[in-house]
Amino acid sequence: MPFLLGAYGTYCTSDFIKNLSYLAEKTASSNAIEKVSFKNGFIVAGTQNEYDHDRIIPLQKEGIFVGKLFDREKYEPITFDHELATNCLANPRYITKNLWGRYVGAFFNKQTQEFSLIRDPQGLSTIFYYQDNDGIIFSTELSLLYQALKTKPSINIDYFVDHIIHTNYALSSTPFAHIKELQPGMKLTLNPAGKSSQELLWDITSFQGSFITDVQSFEEELLTTLRQCTKAWTEDILGVGVELSGGTDSSGVMLLLRDILPEDKKLIAVNYMDSQTQSSNEIKYAQEIAKACNSELFFIDMQTTSLIDKLPEKFLPNKPNTFLFGHTRYQQLENILIQNGCFEIMSGQGGDHIFISPEPEYALADYWLDQGLQGITKPLHQLSGVYRKPWLSIIGQNLQALGRYYQKKCLKEKKEVPCLSQDFLKTFKKENFYLDKQLAQMYPAKAAHIKSLHHAVLYSERNQIGTSLIFTYPLLSQPVIELALRIPTYQSFKDGYDRIFFRNAITRLKKTDALWRKIKGHTTGTVVKKWASQAQEIRDIILEGKLVKNGILDVAWIEKNLIKAQHGQADNLWDLTHLLTAELWFRQWKL
In tens digits, the chain (591 residues) has pLDDT values of 899 999 999 989 999 999 999 999 999 987 789 999 998 999 999 998 877 888 998 887 889 999 999 999 999 998 888 888 888 888 889 999 999 999 999 999 988 899 999 999 999 999 999 999 999 999 999 999 999 999 999 999 999 999 988 878 899 999 999 999 999 999 999 998 889 999 999 988 889 889 999 999 999 999 999 999 999 999 888 899 999 999 999 999 999 999 999 988 999 999 999 888 777 788 999 999 999 999 999 999 998 888 899 898 889 999 999 899 989 999 999 999 999 999 899 999 999 999 999 999 999 999 999 999 999 999 999 999 888 899 999 999 999 999 999 998 877 766 667 888 888 888 888 899 999 999 998 999 999 999 999 988 888 888 888 788 899 999 999 999 999 999 999 999 999 899 999 999 999 999 999 999 887 766 777 888 888 888 889 999 999 999 999 899 999 999 999 888 888 887 888 889 999 999 999 999 998
Return the CATH number at 69.
3.60.20.10
Torsion angles phi and psi, residue 3, rounded to 5: -115, 160
- Convert the pLDDT of each residue in 385-423 to its tens digit: 888 899 999 999 999 999 999 998 877 766 667 888 888
d(CA 158, CA 441): 29
Please list, in sequence order, all residues whose beta carbon lies within 8 angstroms of the beta carbon of residue 190, skipping any fewer than 6 positions away. Answer: 8, 9, 114, 115, 116, 131, 135, 136, 196
List Cβ<8 Å contacts ≥24 apart for 308-314.
308/534, 308/537, 308/538, 308/541, 308/580, 308/584, 311/466, 311/584, 311/588, 312/466
Give the model's pLDDT for residue 415. Answer: 63
Residue 6: inside a domain:
yes
Q: What is the value of pTM for the model shown? A: 0.95
Per the structure, the count of domains in the chain is 2
Of 147, 168, 202, which marks where a domain is finished? Answer: 202
d(CA 66, CA 26): 18
Helix residue ranges per DSSP H, 66-112 = 82-90, 93-98
Of 202, 237, 268, which marks where a domain is finished? Answer: 202
Cross-sheet strand order for the sheet of 63-71: 55-58, 63-71, 99-109, 114-119, 186-190, 196-200
Helices then strands, counting H and E runs in the chain, come out as: 23, 17
d(CA 499, CA 493): 6
Pairing assessment for the beta strands 470-472 and 344-346 based on DSSP bridges: parallel
Of 202, 226, 251, which marks where a domain is finished? Answer: 202
d(CA 346, CA 264): 18
Which residue from 475, 472, 535, 544 is spatially nearest to 506, judged by alpha carbons? 475
Residue 512: inside a domain:
no
Structural domain range at position 155: 2-202
Q: Give the C-alpha distances (Å, rounded to integers) separating 211 from 219, 367, 375, 588.
A: 14, 9, 13, 50
Which residue from 481, 483, 476, 482 is spatially nearest to 124, judged by alpha carbons? 476
Residue 144: inside a domain:
yes
Residue 297: inside a domain:
no
Residues 47, 56 contacting (CB under 8 angstroms):
yes
Neighbours of 106 (CB within 10 A): 30
Residue 280: inside a domain:
no
Cross-sheet strand order for the sheet of 135-139: 33-38, 41-47, 2-9, 135-139, 128-132, 179-181
Question: Read out DSSP for 12-36?
Answer: --HHHHHHHHHHHHHHSSSS-EEEE
Q: How far apart are the first and last CA of the chain?
A: 26
- Convert the pLDDT of each residue in 439-487 to its tens digit: 998 999 999 999 999 988 888 888 888 788 899 999 999 999 999 999 9
Residue 350: inside a domain:
no
Q: In angstroms, how far is CA 389 from the centroid of its own chain?
A: 31
Q: In angstroms, how far is CA 133 from the centroid of its own chain?
A: 32
Residues 525, 519 contacting (CB under 8 angstroms):
no
Residues 582, 320 contacting (CB under 8 angstroms):
yes
d(CA 329, CA 409): 43
d(CA 72, CA 217): 20
Residue 168: inside a domain:
yes
Residue 169: inside a domain:
yes
